[in-house]
Chains A and B, each alone.
Chain A
Amino acid sequence: MPFTDEPRSGIPGPHKERDEGLMKFGVVVFPGSNCDHDTYHVISKVVGQPVDFIWHRDTTIGDCDAVILPGGFSYGDYLRTGAIARFSPVMGAVKQFASRGGIVMGICNGFQILCEAGLLPGALLRNKNLKFICEHVNIRVEATDTPFTSNCQRGQVLSVPIAHGDGSYYCDAATLAELQSENRIIFRYTDANGNLSEQANPNGSLDNIAGICNRERNVLGMMPHPERASEDLLGSHDGRILFYSLADTLAGLKKAS
């Protein structure tokens, strides 16, 4: 697979008849999701793959090859972020899909929901400075042996925005040691040169963690928003390499099977 995030020409529009090589994405819509359309737009128009919304009351994810839990404020963040969304009917199907090896990506609120649902360890706490932070940050790709980062290079720095009030990643010491030793920290907050520092950590996350995956590496959660940085018009296209990685990985899997 070429290491590239170059724009892809001749990409088909959304809802094209499924061809060989086209991967179907599902974007879950909870009450209060607000990045569902951004994600849908990037998958269909930038990555050029078929994509459908999945309503939170649905009990199946249909024929999707990958499911994305988008950002937002599901259920108004009442009780705790993601705490109520995880009981949505669709989450049963998402869990089942993930346990069969299906690819699940949680962005921002989606990450919070995956943690609450127990699909990823840990929790997202109130930002250390108590502020809602909305700004571009730099994250370093720490592992490329995931379907989400397979087109990246290790150490590559991506400029993507964060927009959250509860993004401070926390887990107990044993879990952190496990994440570290199993190479499951996929993104860390760094400076523009890829250097770790306290200053580069916007929210007080343990070990500058911006994104982690599960042990099987098919479920990823990340606080930054790659879908908001997938077109030059928005100031950065660094985020689209994650969606390209997914599409390429899925195409490879399909070809192999």
Chain B
Amino acid sequence: MKAKIYVTLKPSVLDPQGKAIHHAVETIGYRGINDVRQGKYFEVTFGEELSLDEARAEVERMAKDVLSNPVIEDFRVELDSDSES
């Protein structure tokens, strides 16, 4: 079972890295871009011992308490019960 956690800066927080990337890709020639925001992506793989709901609870707590800082960041969690993926 794999959890995917996306951590993004809150809209109110300046993102100088995103701005630099925005500038760079425009310089290279990519067109039509309004904004670039940089975030973080985590994959957490669980063993067999937790149920889907238990794993979801663990991931939500982890994302809130450790992987993101609620002062500056938001997070979104996806849980993938497909063992193939």
Contacts and interface: CB of A to CB of B under 8 A. Distances in A.
Contacts of B17: 126, 130
A6 interface: no
Contacts of B12: 172
Residues of A contacting B: mostly? loop
B71 A171 contact: yes
B13 A125 contact: yes
Contacts, number: 35
A171 B17 CA distance: 19
A83 B66 contact: yes
Nearest to B38: A126
Interface residues of A, number: 20
Contacts of B16: 126-130, 204
B69 interface: yes
B36 interface: no
Nearest to B40: A79
A172 B11 CA distance: 12
The 4 A-B pairs with the shortest beta carbon distances in the complex, nearest first, are A123-B71, A123-B72, A130-B16, A128-B16
Given A125-B72, A128-B14, A170-B72, 17 more contacts: A80-B69, A83-B66, A87-B66, A115-B71, A121-B71, A122-B71, A123-B71, A123-B72, A125-B13, A125-B14, A126-B16, A127-B16, A130-B16, A130-B17, A170-B14, A170-B71, A204-B16
